[in-house]
Amino acid sequence: MTEEPQDDVLEALGLLADRVEGVEDNVDAIIALFTATPGGPWTWAELAPEERAKLWNELFVWVDWLNSRYLANLSTEQYPLPADWYTSPIAVELMTALMVSHMSVYNKSNRTASFQLVEWHERALWPTMARLKDLRIFKNGLSVETPRDRPSASMDSDDFDRFVEADLANHTAPEGDTP
């Protein structure tokens, strides 16, 4: 009789040791992720060339979507981005933040009804667009063209590709990364 409880305890300890090992593996993976991208996967200055290229492309596609879904369809005051928006570091940072915010709100794992979608529009999208306009970071501010006259960001994909190639060539990889 005394051996059975001991066997149960030993088995439970074995299972516990396996779980602890699994947790340690997960913690090691998380540490590796944060070490690889210390500021997160959207901190431009910290990204290795491959990550930087991936983020450029993701941002370009997202801004193209933003232009076609929202900005080209405004009937009153308009906020169209110039076709070369990506040449402005300020616009890149603001658009990156807006994209990341959008991704967090329109996440497939969000299954609970909330005000997040409205909040993204009211506290992220329109204030960011107004900020771009107020900062006047583009020549002549944000142009006010009719949607059918405004060039789409996707029309500039060759220029964008050349810009990204130059950016990657001129960007210094973070310490510890090899290009």
What are the residue ranges spanned by the domains of the chain? 1-36, 44-170
42-67, pLDDT tens digit by residue? 899 889 999 999 999 999 999 999 98
114-151, pLDDT tens digit by residue? 899 999 999 999 999 989 888 888 865 544 443 434 44
Alpha-helix residue ranges (DSSP H) falling in the chain: 3-36, 49-69, 89-105, 116-120, 126-135, 157-170
Closest C-alpha among 82, 99, 52 to residue 153: 82
Rounded Cα gap, residues 66 and 153, in angstroms: 10
Helices (H) and strands (E) in the chain, counts: 6, 0
Rounded Cα gap, residues 33 and 30, in angstroms: 5
The structure tokens listed for 51 are 């990550």
pLDDT score of 26 more than 80: no
pLDDT score of 88 more than 60: yes
Four-point Cα dihedral 160, 163, 168, 170, nearest 10: -170
The structure tokens listed for 79 are 């906020």
C-beta separation of 63 from 130 below 8 A: no
Work out the number of other CB atoms within 10 angstroms of the CB of residue 158. Answer: 8
Mean pLDDT, residues 156-167:
88
pTM of the model: 0.67
Rounded Cα gap, residues 121 and 14, in angstroms: 51
| Residue 179: per-residue pLDDT | 42
Which residue has better confidence, 143 or 106?
Answer: 106
| Residue 148: per-residue pLDDT | 39
